[in-house]
Structure formats: C-alpha cells, structure tokens
Amino acid sequence: MAATHGLAVFHLDPCRNRDAMHELLGQKIKGTICTDRYGVYEKVALQQRGLCWSHLKRDFAELAEQDGVTKQIGEQGLAICSAVFQVWGRFRDKQISRSILQDQVRGVRKRMNELLKRGRRCRFKRTAGFCAELLRLEPALWTFAQVPGIEPTNNHAERMLRPAVMWRKQSLGSHSIAGCRFVERIMTVLQTLSLRGRSVIDYLEQAVHALRHGLSPPSLLA
C-alpha cells in the first residue's frame, strides 16, 4: 500500500515483487517514497527514496544485543536514531524551521558516516555488511530533511495497513481475484475517507446511488 496524509491506496498481489510495486506505483515512479530496505525498491532511483528510521532502529537494537565491537556500533547507532527522532519531533511540532532541521541533521549525519565507516571495517561479517549496505544507501537516510512531505519513518503507511493485516489474519485472506479487488478497493475507501474526516456510510450510499442510476462514482478526494 502507498499513503500520503490525504490518500491511502491498497493493492493485493500474490507476491511482494517488482511487478507488484509497479502495479501500485506505476511503471515510472514519480515523486519521493519512504520505504524499508527491501530489495524490490532498489530499482527506484536513490534520490527518490527515503529510508525508514524505525526499521533502522530495530537493526541497531539487534546489534546492541551482541558483544564487543558489534555491541558498541549498535549502541551508538541507537543514540543516533534517538537524535534523529528528537530533532524531527521538534520540527514536526513547529518548534524549529526546516533550515534549522537541516543544520542540526548535518552533525548527526557526520556521526552516522563515521560510525558506518568504522563498522564497515569490523571483522564480523554481518556487522561489516550491514554498515557497508547503509553507506551505499546513505543519501536516502536524510531525505526527510530535504523533501517536504517525507518523514523519517514509514509508520504512517504501517498504521494505514494494520486494519487490513488484522482482517487477513481473521479471515485467512482472499482466494479469488474478485475478493482481492473488493478488499483493496474497500480498504482504499475506508482509509482515505478516514484520513479526510469524511463519513464512510455517506460515501457508500452515494456510490450505490450512482451505480444504480448510471452516474459517475463519487470522488474520494472531493
């Protein structure tokens, strides 16, 4: 699923692969997206990506549970994550401007670069590989400071997705094309109207009326 603060669009697919991504976002992806580091998104230009710091925080927490150098890298990474969330919180609450956000992020970015370069030289392969991978994607870690509308996490999309996940667990999912189309369409309607503070019942009533009278369906974005 993909979500902005005024629209949530769902697509059900048997696989979470590149074709499914393009089915949702189009063959030529426009704008900027914030995602996890799943390999499918590698085909999206790095300058169009933001990386989720909540996922990153969990990765550093896992490293912090190990021993030696890996533990140190994990703990320092968690401290950097906390610094990012702190400065973003101040920006989100309108306590600082975007220019101040960018100034404060520069220092945090320098700390992260130094940590990742040190971690890349670690003799533990998993830790070194993790740090090397983040260095390769490093510009996307800071997209939130540059691009209006992009946050440092994809938590908004995760919250939009949660009701669908719970529905699937309770119903064991859909096993027909028609069922999948219904779920993705009704979830798109429910979550988009919720984001816009509109009545679901009123919208569905208008949609049924339009169908029965051969009229165009009501707009979700009106």
Residues 127-184 have pLDDT tens digits of: 999 999 999 999 999 999 999 999 999 889 889 989 988 988 888 888 888 998 999 9
CA atoms of 221 and 198, how far apart (whole Å): 10
Query: What does the chain come to in residues?
Result: 222
**Half-sphere exposure of residue 167: CA atoms within 13 angstroms, side-chain side:** 13
| C-alpha closest to that of 62 among 156, 112, 127 | 127
50 pairs with which residues across the strands?
A: 34
Contact by Cβ (8 Å): 48, 32: yes
Contact by Cβ (8 Å): 210, 218: yes
pTM of the model: 0.83
35 pairs with which residues across the strands?
A: 51
| Average confidence (pLDDT) over 83-93 | 96
Is pLDDT at 40 greater than 90 in this prediction?
no
Tokens of 71: 């533990």
Which range has highest mean pLDDT (42-56, 75-89, 158-172)?
75-89
| Average confidence (pLDDT) over 21-43 | 88
| Average confidence (pLDDT) over 117-136 | 93
Q: Tokens 């859909």 belong to which residue?
A: 174
Contact by Cβ (8 Å): 106, 83: no
192-210: pLDDT as tens digits? 999 999 999 999 999 999 9
What pLDDT does 20 receive? 87
13-26: pLDDT as tens digits? 888 888 888 888 88
